[in-house]
Amino acid sequence: MASITGHTITVEPAAVHVRAVHEGQVLADSRRPLVLRETGCPDRYYLPPEDVRTDLLSSSDTRTHCPFKGDASYWSLPGASDLVWAYPDPKEEVAAIRDHFCFYATEVVPD
């Protein structure tokens, strides 16, 4: 757990099945996501690259910086910019999310 002036981030394995779908196409399906919980933000699932259809994604020029996680890179689909992001070199406190993909729209699938 990282905590900086009242800002807390935790990363842990999530015992859920998650899927990312865009316009009916499954982009990711994982039974081994990490859940990142951050003060003031919704829970986010970070998926291992083996569970993501990276062949469908195109690298974007977009880069963002989070003072708590580091620098993020983004990927897009045709007609859907910056749909997914990852931290190739995250801060040490959240090192577990390195190279895991996070989608804006991820659903928990009931098993």
Query: 29 is in which domain, residue-wise?
Result: 2-109
**Phi, psi at 97, each rounded to 5°:** -85, 0
Mean pLDDT in consecutive groups of 10 residues from the start of the chain, 111 residues: 71 95 94 94 95 95 94 94 95 94 87 71
* Spatial CB neighbours of 56, under 8 Å, sequence gap ≥ 6: 25, 27, 77
Split into its structural domains, the chain has a count of 1
- We report the CATH number of the domain holding residue 46 as 2.170.150.40
Return the pLDDT at 77: 92
- Residue 82: HSE in the Cβ half-sphere, 13 Å Cα cutoff: 6
DSSP-derived pairing of the beta strands 70-77 and 58-66: antiparallel
